Amino acid sequence: MRKDVRILLVGEPKVGKTSLIMTLVSEEFPAVVPYRAEEITIPADVTPERVPTHIVDYSGIKQEYIYYLCSPFTVCVCFRVPLILVGNKSDLVEHSSMETVLPIMNKYTEIETCVECSAKNLKNISELFYYAQKAVLHPTGPLYCPEKKE
Ligand code: GTP
Ligand code: MG
């Protein structure tokens, strides 16, 4: 059984990574957010899967570094890192972004699921972190990728 789950939020600048974390914690949309949220740990007894969950805001760490961090691990050790594709700021769009998202999901099989949310409207915030926790604990895709072995 897993001891804990670590969720990293990565993405383009200003997509709302820090806002999503702060909204989850305070249950309200913060008017002002720091550049980067402190790492938070959600105790096991308040998570749906009863596993302590650490949430890390990757703002401020260069994308190259993230690539460096994930890529050798994925390729050499051959364990897949499950990804959740998050479409934040759904309050700003009238239509669902599924048409854009489906081709991306088909191309990258390591994406477990996608979720549209809005930190501003508190929509799908706890769900998003639950999906991420679930993706780690009960991944649906293969965890071992033989084609990447060498
Ligand atoms: P960096 O740390 O600079 O990479 O940005 P970030 O991804 O952490 O984004 P941040 O949380 O700082 O939010 C950027 C801007 O988007 C802020 O002005 C937020 O108020 C706004 N924002 C965040 N989430 C939402 C949302 O769901 N809807 C709307 N309308 N605005 C949002
Ligand atoms: Mg940030």
Q: pLDDT tens, 35-93? A: 999 999 999 999 988 999 999 998 755 555 544 444 443 333 344 788 899 999 999 98
pTM of the model: 0.85
Provide Rg for the chain, Cα atoms. 16
Residue 118 sits at the vertex; the CA angle it makes with 30 and 46, to the nearest 5 degrees, is 75
Ligand number, closest to the Cα atom of 89: 1
ipTM score above 0.95 = yes
Torsion angle in degrees (nearest 10) through CA of 133, 108, 110, 35: -40
Amino acid at 52: P
Please tell me the distance from the alpha carbon of residue 113 to that of residue 110, in angstroms, as a whole number: 9
Ligand 2 ion: residues within 5 Å (CB): 18, 59
Task: Read off the pLDDT of residues 99-108 as tens digits, 9 standing for 90 and up.
Answer: 888 888 888 8
Atom of ligand 1 nearest to the CA of 23: 24
Ligand number, closest to the Cα atom of 23: 1
Task: Read off the pLDDT of residues 4-47 as tens digits, 9 standing for 90 and up.
Answer: 898 999 888 899 999 999 999 999 999 999 999 999 999 999 99
15 CA to centre of ligand 1 in angstroms: 5
Please tell me the distance from the alpha carbon of residue 56 to that of residue 36, in angstroms, as a whole number: 9
